[in-house]
Amino acid sequence: MESYEELLYRLKDIELVGQIGSLLSWDQEVLMPPNAAPLRAEQLAWISKTAHERLTDPKIGILLDEVGSRGNLGEVELANLRLARQSYERATKLPTEFVEEMAKHRSKSLISWTEAREKDDFSIFREDLSVSIDHARRKADFLGYEELRYDALLDLYESGLTVDTLDPLFSGLRDKVAPLIKAVSEEASRPDLSWVEDNSWSQESQEALSQIISEAIGFNFSSGRRDRSTHPFCGGPNPDDVRWTTRYNESEPFGSLFGSMHETGHGTYEQGRPRNLDFQPAGKANGLGVHESQSRLWENQVGRSRAFCDWSLSIWKEYFPENMSGVDSEQLWRAVNLVEPGLIRVDADEATYNLHIMIRYEIEKQLISGEIEVDELPDLWDSMYEEFLGIKSPNSSKGVLQDIHWSMGAIGYFPTYTLGNLYAAQLLEAAKKELPNYEDQIRSGDFQPLLNWMRKNVHSRGSVLEPAALIEEATGSPPSPDAFVDYLSSKVERLYEVTA
């Protein structure tokens, strides 16, 4: 198996470059001094160039063909071959000049988007967005697709994902969740949040809470770190060095805690990767949707459950004795589960979040297919927000300009957020069947059984399977919106006594 070993040797080399780049990026976000930005950009460009050179070495293509022509490949070998070929093809199918053109445009577009958002003027960004859409179409043509151009873009972020598989998921959500939210908005009364809103929440105590709960879930701080950054994220170079961040707002404590649980979910996934496959593509965490399932699991499915509130109440009371005086776990549970349609995706609650994504998905599909033009975008955005969330943005900064993704050319990315929510519900439903005492475990702060289930059924499987196949293997069913819809409906009914 000489070719296979040489292939692995070269993939390890490329992976090491990537690990080093991850550390540079983490440092840039978290603690690099401001004047260091230009030279850091040179270092990161060197990393990209070096990784790209090594990945597109024609020898890789030869090795892929040699390995592929043999029979007798096991599950892991097949996965390594599939993933290495995918990376190689993505890197070689796009002409160098086109990649450079996109990179240059991305820098320009990020600037016009920032200015447009500041000045609340879509027309400043209009032309650059139009070019980005054109780039996305050309990129899809270079990469190739079977049915729709947009499928080629979806596949970049979640391997094998297509409109054919996504449409039924989103229509399931639209049909069930939108009416539920409408019912809450029209019929339910808002819980009393004065104990949250009228208090100040010290950063020091928020940090303690963040740390304690992340440790309780099972994040290993001997193989990782918690830091502060403007934009929370989970990064770091490898499973022994996983670094997540959060941010603190002293006027409310939930952002940092649920943000911490979210990143802890990503972090435990990275720490749980199959270590016998270090440096191999099959050993990496799976697509963005599966990654997001792990963050959403701990943030929402666990963190916003009644049982978790029962357990965590005493910790809240320990670190915020005055603010939490007289607050019971029912009140805590209602506060962390406020359902309220809003304009901003990143601030959205668990019930409304996927409608924000659905709107973006529908718009991306139509932009790429040419059904709509960039000029029609702001009006379409507003009318969809009115239709599905019952609200309208007073300006484009809080509307169509709110997200960075399109300015970076990341078209096809948004749906993975919703996949994460659906997978999380589906995985937990499956896990509960094997964990009969699940509620009691959560209520007593024993998260090990659930984490172990994820370790066994998700984390340790790395990227051996494609994402949809992994979900089916772990849960017994292909990806579906049902578990999420059931979960959300019953929760909203308990919270607000409404039904859709």
Q: Which residues are tagged catalytic? A: 263
Using CB under 8 A, count the residues that bind a second copy.
Answer: 31
Residue 222 within binding range of a second copy, rule CB under 8 A: yes
- Which of 10-18, 106-114, 393-401, 488-496 is the region at the interface with a second copy (rule: CB under 8 A)? 10-18
The answer to whether residue 19 forms part of the interface with a second copy (CB under 8 A) is: yes
* Residue 17 binds a second copy (CB under 8 A): yes
User: Which two tokens mark 336?
Assistant: 């962390």
Query: Does position 274 bind a second copy by CB under 8 A?
Result: no
* 24 touching a second copy, by CB under 8 A: yes
Of 4, 10, 40, 179, the one binding a second copy (CB under 8 A) is 40
- Residue placing its CB nearer to a second copy in the complex, 34 or 58: 34
| DSSP H or E run through 116 | helix 96-119
Cα 161 to Cα 210, 354, 412, 459, 482: the distances in Å are 34, 17, 10, 20, 18
| Span interacting with a second copy, options 25-33, 174-182, 360-368, 426-434, rule CB under 8 A | 25-33
| Position 41 contacts a second copy (CB under 8 A) | no
**Residue type for position 407:** S
Smallest separation (angstroms) from a second copy to the CB of 35:
4
| Binding letters toward a second copy, positions 463-492, x by CB under 8 A | ------------------------------
By CB under 8 A, which span of 62-70, 156-164, 219-227, 335-343 interacts with a second copy?
219-227
Are 412 and 156 a contacting pair, CB within 8 Å?
A: yes
Q: Residue 134 in contact with residue 370, Cβ under 8 Å?
A: no
39 binds a second copy (CB under 8 A): yes
Among 38, 58, 74, 436, binds a second copy (CB under 8 A): 38
In a 13 Å sphere around the CA of 16, the CA atoms on its Cβ side amount to 7
Binding to a second copy by residue 203, rule CB under 8 A? no
- Closest approach of Cβ 288 to a second copy, in Å? 24
Q: Does 71 bind a second copy (CB under 8 A)?
A: no
CA distance 235 to 237: 7
Q: Which is nearer to a second copy, 42 or 198 (CB)?
A: 42
Work out the angle at residue 427's Cα, subtended by the Cα atoms of residues 424 and 454, and round it to the nearest 5 degrees: 100
Q: Which of 288, 324, 269, 314 is nearest to 420 (CA)?
A: 288
User: Of 103-111, 222-230, 335-343, 402-410, which segment contacts a second copy by CB under 8 A?
Assistant: 222-230
CA neighbours closer than 13 Å in the CB half-sphere of residue 18:
15
In whole angstroms, how close is the CB of 260 to a second copy at the nearest point?
17
Instruction: Specify the stretch interacting with a second copy by CB under 8 A; choose among 167-175, 178-186, 223-231, 244-252.
Output: 223-231
With contacts defined by CB under 8 A, name the span among 112-120, 217-225, 262-270, 377-385 that binds a second copy. 217-225
* Terminal-residue alpha carbon distance, the chain: 59
Selected binder of a second copy within 35, 189, 194, 325 (CB under 8 A) = 35
Task: With CA atoms as reference, report the closest residue to 345 among 379, 391, 299.
Answer: 391
Ranges within 234-253 binding a second copy (CB under 8 A): 237-238, 240-241
Signed CA dihedral, 106, 109, 111, 117: sign only: negative
Helices (H), 320-396: 329-336, 353-369, 377-389
Q: Which residue has the tokens 């707002």?
A: 249
As a whole number of angstroms, the distance between CA 171 and CA 23 comes to 40
Nearest approach, Cβ of residue 123 and a second copy (Å): 35
Least Cβ distance, residue 86 to a second copy (angstroms): 24
- The type of residue at 76 is V
* CA distance linking residue 113 with residue 148, whole number of Å: 28
46 near a second copy (CB under 8 A): yes
Compute the least distance from the CB of residue 25 to a second copy, in Å.
11
Angle among Cα 157, 484, 182 to the nearest 5 degrees reads 105
Number of H helices, E strands in the chain: 21, 3
Does residue 223 belong to the site contacting a second copy (CB under 8 A)?
A: yes
Q: How big is the chain by its Cα radius of gyration, in Å? A: 23
- Using rule CB under 8 A, residue 33 touches a second copy: yes
Q: How far apart are CA 426 and CA 474, in angstroms?
A: 9
Question: Which residues contact a second copy (rule: CB under 8 A)?
Answer: 13, 16-17, 19-20, 23-24, 27, 31-36, 38-40, 42-43, 46-47, 220-225, 237-238, 240-241
